Structure 1
């Protein structure tokens, strides 16, 4: 069944997934940017941190604005321009004076930040609704595979000449743009905003389900991101070498590459909100395991449970956001969803760092509570939708 479902996906999606893999493998500049700025450009760590932070702000602004621009001028067209603009910025970084690095890197983050929600909107808007979860899961699998492959290659390149890192990212961006231009069709729904339909905010405000999903994603992703902030701090403080932490993250990424798409296909017919809620429950249980057993063994259990939860909720929620999008708003709905997730990523490190510094034993219970509250909120929404649909069915037959 799984292989049959994969074969039924459109041929162009295979090329798009290849592009995702290439781009993810080559997305190295952000990973080594702080080291480059300090060791190659002579900046102090504080200034380098501000510039890297400017790149993050640019990514957030790009993610928020990219959907509206894509809906107005064409999702596929803007995605191609985003990758080409990002490639140009990467080629310029090694050659511009230090004073221009901040604006250039922030602008590059903005332009490149448009591509992620547009890519999700392109997949979700160009394939049949029943195939969306599998398509999103395949796209995520390709990106996770790139995360496994890319950093070691980037480290080798940086050890030889840092300019190679930027060249690799530029080449992979151009390759991805070429694949999208040559093989990927425009979305089935023409995404051109007009003044006739409802505004984005009116559409979202009228859809309780989508804003409940966005709030849940913000809270749960803020908790989930603590595996990248609080967890390595806890492990190193308890005497674990960083290689042990790295092995956990690598194993998680490898499992996602292997298992997420088959799981998405198996569960494609199940109600989305129930699958997302179940994923949140696994996230909460993972953090509870860490609260009870704050050692490396607990971290192994935590990452295993959280990986299962991630495979359940992430592809399903992105596809569900596409399912709820009105005609012509695919890009903006994906921008909203991505921005909620990114906002969780932004607030998680400072808040988690503060809690870990002043009350470390509270961090994991708080994360568990956020995930379980998100699960409860979406489960309640699912029950409300089911009751409403049953009432409508009774009234129509009666």
Structure 2
């Protein structure tokens, strides 16, 4: 008897869901004018010290950390689609509040709300991709990251130009972009949560019994802390060299364009490589990029540092989502992806705080040395669990 089989090209072809989620990422990130200019807005427009500005950025990260856990829980309970809508609409409201806040406590509270709403999309969207067949996940996650960085490159370029003429318009245009992303969800994103996958099983007991998941999460907290301190201190390092906001925006846009250009090639080269090795090498590049940024003294030097950081981000993006999706039980998929995403969010809290404090207290040389040392340590830690990761995923 002849058994019909589906060709590999058909099984790996991206479905409409992936393209719709990619469109959400593109629109939302292309309109994210506030995030790349937030430190400059706080230090120049609101006259905050670098440490105070770092605390506000950390408030965004605190909210984002909570949103990953909340978004994961909501994604498994009310559905992926409703959670995405709630996130985009809430972000629009929070941006309006942040742009009109005038005192430090109100700014901090609005930043916290902004982070809490803005992060809801990630675990819900990641769970929707995890609901796809396993052979489609790596390319789908890479598409989402590619679209997000294309949007980020556009936002960083435009935001730099707009910021040179005043910061107020950034917040309102960003809010409109969130409404446009919500409209895409309404018209093009179906619900992927299967009724059969609904479970009342608690996350914490399952997570505590999963040592590999805990270890991988801790390693990625360190990795994202390293990355976020590099991007949080970059505008301060550049302005110390008398470089203006437009130059900073152009250098930051290079990050997005490098990812847009190189990631499709990276998917072809790295998608079927050992996941632990790819992740470890990417963490090492993140440390080297952070070290280069700390000691650079020219636009060209900062551009090289951004390119090295971009290579690290690309390697992480190719394997991060698929790696954690493979670790997740079906009934806890959204919550597991929320925990994985919270590693990024916690890094967004710790990175700006540690980076700005280290720069202010110890100087750029120590900042660079710590970044390189952290990259080496993370490389070793990820390599140490690579064997367990291979065994689990096989």
Quickly say closer, same or farther: Cα 1:5–1:153, change in 2 above 3 A: farther
Match among 362, 367, 373 for residue 363 of structure 1: 367
Partner of 1:186: helix, strand, or coil?
A: coil
Quickly say closer, same or farther: Cα 1:290–1:71, change in 2 above 3 A: same
| Residue of structure 1 equivalent to 2:120 | 114
Q: Does 1:330 align with 2:333?
A: yes
Match among 202, 207, 210 for residue 210 of structure 2: 207
Q: Does 1:184 align with 2:167?
A: no
Bigger drift between 280-289 and 343-352 goes to 280-289
Partner of 1:79: helix, strand, or coil?
A: helix
TM-score, normalised on structure 1?
A: 0.79
Bigger drift between 318-327 and 296-305 goes to 296-305
Partner of 1:27: helix, strand, or coil?
A: coil
Partners of 1:29 and 1:72 lie apart in 2 by 31
Partners of 1:387 and 1:89 lie apart in 2 by 44
Partner of 2:346: helix, strand, or coil?
A: helix
Q: Is the 8 A contact 2:24 2:181 kept in 1?
A: yes
Partners of 2:98 and 2:233 lie apart in 1 by 32
Bigger drift between 259-268 and 129-138 goes to 259-268
Partners of 1:85 and 1:265 lie apart in 2 by 37
- Kindly state the Cα deviation for residue 270 of structure 1 after the two structures are TM-superposed: 2.1
Q: Compare CA radii of gyration and give the structure with the larger one.
A: 1
Partners of 1:300 and 1:80 lie apart in 2 by 36
- Provide, for residues 261-312 of structure 1, a one-character-per-residue CA deviation record: whole Å limited to 9, x for no partner: 3312432222221211121232344456668x75446545433332212111
Match among 76, 82, 89 for residue 84 of structure 1: 89
Partner of 1:185: helix, strand, or coil?
A: coil
1:295-334 superposed matches below 5 A: 295-296=297-298, 299-334=302-337
Partners of 2:42 and 2:91 lie apart in 1 by 18
**Count of residues in correspondence between the two structures:** 381
Partners of 1:33 and 1:281 lie apart in 2 by 27
1:135-154 superposed matches below 5 A: 135-154=140-159
Match among 270, 291, 296 for residue 267 of structure 1: 270
| Residue of structure 2 equivalent to 1:378 | 382
Partners of 1:270 and 1:375 lie apart in 2 by 16
Q: Is the 8 A contact 1:87 1:170 kept in 2?
A: yes
Partner of 1:333: helix, strand, or coil?
A: helix
- Provide, for residues 85-104 of structure 1, a one-character-per-residue CA deviation record: whole Å limited to 9, x for no partner: 33344466778998977655
Q: Is the 8 A contact 1:189 1:327 kept in 2?
A: no
- Kindly state the Cα deviation for residue 6 of structure 1 after the two structures are TM-superposed: 11
- Kindly state the Cα deviation for residue 325 of structure 1 after the two structures are TM-superposed: 0.8
TM-score, normalised on structure 2?
A: 0.80
Partners of 1:6 and 1:252 lie apart in 2 by 32
Partners of 1:27 and 1:389 lie apart in 2 by 36
Unpaired segments ≥5 residues, structure 1? 391-398
- Provide, for residues 303-338 of structure 1, a one-character-per-residue CA deviation record: whole Å limited to 9, x for no partner: 333221211113311221111111122221222122
